[in-house]
Amino acid sequence: MSGLDTRLAAKPADYKSDVKPIWCPGCGDYHVLMSFTRAFAQLGLPPEQIAVVSGIGCSSRIPAYTNCYGFHGIHGRSLALAAGLKVTRPDLTVVVASGDGDGYSIGGNHFLHACRRNIDMTYVVMDNHIYGMTKGQPSPTTEPEYDTALAPGGTGVAPFHPLVVALASGANFIARCFSGEPNETADVLAEAIKHPGFSFVEILSPCITFRPDEKVWKDQVHAASVGATHDQGKAARRLMTDDGFNIGILYRGNRPPYQPAVGATDIDWSELERDFEL
């Protein structure tokens, strides 16, 4: 996040658009939207200086529900869109929104490289352990025994650990939140945005329509028992043994963010042409 003119007394309502969400009532993403707007208000950023970039899926509908600049892109490619945008417009605050299908499946490769590149942006994945928009197929974080039409009896394939993948790939900030605690989530998001480099925030956000069993999440989540570490080794151990419900900032790295110098210069065309001159 770069220093910008902050507005006095920004309110969350300043960051909400008038577009009514299509999310099912009871969806965790309503809380996530609340967390976004509260975080933006906390930071006092002008809405026009924020870009919310997403892919495809229920979670990816969020940009239009904010009053910021938004990009509802194609499935799995939000991180690439965001990388091109941020590198050429370092003045903007870029927040990327995705889900467990869009982000970890089709978007998996871009996830690795976004962590590796460490461009300054915040990546929020609303994880509901299912493909919601397309009606309930297993995702990379779905439990192997979870029965679905596409994988009757369960996939039999173990879910992966996105937080471990993020750490191994170089993410500079790793946190997990629960949508049902929108104020805590807002605080973590604000921290994530302030933290330089690639910040990854996974938000457990239950799907009321296809995973009503996720109602129990509010009883299963718990604050992380230890504070965030700067040590990658420690973080690796903690994340590998994580129960999937530790809430809080789990890792803060100090890699410098990637940002090439961009901006108009006095163009000396002859310098470009010299290579060719006979």
Partner 1 sequence: MSKASDNPKVASLNDLLAVAYQIEIDAVDRYNLLADQMETHNNPELVKVFRDLARAEGIHGEEIRRLAGDFDVVAHARQIAKFERRGSPEEADLSSAHYLMTPWHALQLSLDGEKRALAYFTSIVETAKDPKVKAMAGELVEEEAEHVNLVHRLLRRYPPPSESWADDMDPPVSQE
Partner 2 sequence: MAASPSLSIAIIGSGGAGALTTGDLLLETACAAGWHGLYTRTLGPQIRGGEAAGLLRLAVHPVECLPDQFDILVGIDWLNAHRFGAEIKVGPQTLVISDPRGGEPPPMVTQSGARVVEVPMKEMAKAIPDGRPNMIALGIASRLLGFSAEQVSAPLEKRLADKGPAAIEASLAGIKAGFGAAAGIAYGTQLATPRANTARRWLLSGNEATALGAIRGGIRFAAAYPITPATEILEWLAPNLSKVGGTLLQAEDELAAINMIVGASYGGTPSLTATSGPGLSLMIEALGLATSAEIPIVVVDVMRGGPSTGIPTKSEQADLNIAVYGMHGDAPHLVLAPQSVGDCVFTSQWATHLAESLQAPAIILSDQFMGQSRAAIERPADVAFIGARTLAANIAGTYKRHAMAANGVSPMALPGTRGGQYTADGLTHTERGTPTSGAADHLAQLDKRRDKLDRFNFGDHWASVEGEGDIAVMTWGSLTGAAREAAAHAVADGIGVRVVAPRLLAPVQPERLAAALEGVKRILVVEQTHGRQFHKYLRAHYDLPAPVRAFNRPGPLPITAGEIHRAITEWR
Contacts with partner 2, residue ranges (CB under 8 A)? 17, 19, 46-49, 51-53, 63-64, 67-74, 76-77, 79-85, 87-89, 91-92, 109-110, 112-113, 260-265, 267-268, 271-273, 275-278
- Between 33 and 167, whose beta carbon lies closer to partner 1? 33
Q: Smallest gap, in angstroms, from Cβ of residue 78 to partner 1?
A: 14
What residue 220 binds from partner 2, partner 1, none (CB within 5 to 8 A, per partner kind)?
none
Tokens matching residue 88: 């050429």
79/204 with CB nearer partner 1: 204
CA–CA dist 63, 160 (Å, integer): 27
End-to-end CA distance of the chain: 47
- Nearest-10 crossing angle of helices 162-169, 232-240: 160
83 binds, options partner 2, partner 1, none, Cβ within 5 to 8 A by partner type:
partner 2
Three-class SS state of 225: coil
Q: Rg of the chain over CA atoms, in angstroms?
A: 19
Amino acid symbol at 185:
T
Binding mask 132-171 for partner 1 (x = CB under 8 A): -xxxx-----------------------------------
Nearby residues of 131 by Cβ (< 8 Å), 6 or more positions away: 57, 99, 101, 137, 138, 139
Least distance (Å) from partner 1 to the CB of residue 147? 17
Q: Does 71 bind partner 1 (CB under 8 A)?
A: no
Tokens matching residue 23: 């999310």
Secondary structure letter of residue 266 according to DSSP: -
Judged by CB under 8 A, the chain residues 199 through 228 that form the site for partner 1 are 206, 208-210, 215, 218
| Closest distance to partner 2 from the beta carbon of 277 (Å) | 6
Binding partner 1 (rule: CB under 8 A), the pick from 4, 24, 151, 224 is 24
Give which of partner 1, partner 2, none residue 64 binds (C-beta under 5 to 8 Å, depending on kind).
Answer: partner 2
Chain positions 73 to 132 lying near partner 1, rule: CB under 8 A, are none
Strand partners, 69: 51
The least distance separating partner 1 from the CB of residue 139, rounded to whole angstroms, comes to 15
Q: Which of 1, 15, 28, 174 binds partner 1 (CB under 8 A)?
A: 28
Q: Which residues of 132-170 are buried (b: 16+ CB within 10 A; e: fewer)?
A: bbeebbbbbbbeeebebeeeeeebeeebeebbbbbbebb
